[in-house]
Amino acid sequence: MRHADAAGRLTVGPVDALSLVVMAVLHEAATAIADGDDSGAMLSVIDGMIGAITRP
């Protein structure tokens, strides 16, 4: 996250708070997949979230 921020790629911040939120989302997604949720759908949502908080 710090590298993305230093490169000007993050659209939101601060990095420390954003990192906690992203890790929480990834943990919940992993738990949902382990519990049988559709992994493809979950990965699509995660990809969209990462796309929304970064720029090329």
Q: Please state the rounded mean pLDDT for residues 11-18.
A: 94
Domain count, the chain: 1
Range of 45's domain? 2-53
The confidence band for 14, taking pLDDT boundaries of 50, 70 and 90, is very high
Q: Are 42 and 33 in contact (CB under 8 A)?
A: yes
DSSP string, 29-53: HHHHHHTT--HHHHHHHHHHHHHHH
- pTM of the entire structure? 0.82
